[in-house]
Amino acid sequence: MLSGVAAFGAMTVVPAAAAVAASPCQQAPSPGVPIPPLAPRDPLISQLGLDQAWTQATGAGVVVGVVDTGVDPSSPKLAGAVAAGRSYHVVDTSAVYASAAGGQIDCDGHGTQVAGIIAGRTAAGDDRVSGIAPAATVYPVAIQSEIAQAPSALIAAAIKDAADHASVVNLSFAQSTDSPDIRHAIEYAEHKNVVVVASAANETGQTASGPSYPAAYPGVLAVSSIGGAVTGNWIDLAAPGTSLTTVTRGGKGYVTVSGTSFATAIVSGVAALVRQRFPDLTAPQVIARLEATALPPGDGSRDDAEGYGVVDPFAALTALSTPAAGGASAPAGRVPVPALHGARHHGSNHTVLGVTAALGALAVLVALGTLSVRAGRRRGWYPGYRPPAAVDERVAEPQPAELG
């Protein structure tokens, strides 16, 4: 099988300036807010030990397919990061759907936010906002229809398209029903040696209420947000998913987002790092490495809230071998990271260090407004998805070396 790097490393990326012509979107994007020049670094860098992880891999040469609402590449953080992609929409014929070249239109914003977390650039040393794999390429597959009513055949075609162009595919959506079309599309991706990462639904405080698809399909890496998603024995990993800072459509400023959609984007970014570092690993081996090196929850065993634990980028990149998930083999190194686990751990008395608290220690989140949301359009296919409630402006505090 071809590795992700060998198969997709030569993809042409369309410059951002060429992508922002006349927009078909009915509403103009609501701008985010700039982050002050002296604002702190993106909290995820320290939370996940990314400084150390980036000494091993940055995602260069790896393509991540994002099946979502499209990706607007106009943010400086996505300049040069987004391939042309493809767009799918519903048609009123027996064909059910049609597609066209170009996935760089995002009339919702969700796909752009996901892409920023996966591959936001840190060019010129600007790490106030950063993607997990800042040298990876995003291949956007835009679903331009009312997603809640989109036929399964359309979604399946979009997944197959992503699998044809990427070695990691991010699916930040969840459905409660098993669709044969989508299941077969997942099998198609796995046959092509693609790592498929999908999100669990956001139903905080609930016990297992049935699996979420496509996350629950065999071979898919199912991701939960720490302390904020449904539980079940089909969950594989967890990642931070609260108060994350990312780009917004329109290219101006940043927003704060929460939900398993964005925890999933983090894991997809880490998968891209592993695919670069170990180009000969198969997709199942990449998944096994991520599971085996995760920071385990509670008493160290797998649980239904976080699966094998919180994804650990540096450990995944430095393990001496790829043990079976839950195996006894220890990684070669592990960067000390905060205990980010939620509170649902077999009666554990661990101190809960939520991501919001960690953000608060580094920065002050100021609510400056609410992004406009079209009635009836907000994420029908993301059960429990919490849309960006406020733009983000972190207060800049002078560093000691900068004081006169």
Beta carbons within 10 angstroms of residue 37's beta carbon: 8
Query: Which of 253, 255, 171, 277 lies closest to 219, judged by CA?
Result: 171
The catalytic position among 74, 199, 261, 268 is 261
* 46 among known catalytic residues: no
In sequence order, the 6+-apart residues with CB closer than 8 A to the CB of 249 are 29, 72, 74, 106, 107, 108, 109, 112
* 108 among known catalytic residues: no
The catalytic position among 3, 30, 42, 68 is 68
Backbone torsions φ then ψ of 145, nearest 5 degrees: -105, 180
- Is the separation of the CB atoms in 71 and 78 below 8 Å? yes
In sequence order, the 6+-apart residues with CB closer than 8 A to the CB of 322 are 278, 281, 285, 288, 289, 292
- Is the separation of the CB atoms in 292 and 326 below 8 Å? yes
Buried b / exposed e over 390-401, threshold 16 CB at 10 Å, is bbbbbeeeeeee
* 191 among known catalytic residues: no
The catalytic position among 74, 75, 99, 110 is 110
CA distances from residue 127 to 132, 246, 268 in whole angstroms, order as listed: 11, 12, 19
Active-site residues, by number, are 68, 110, 261
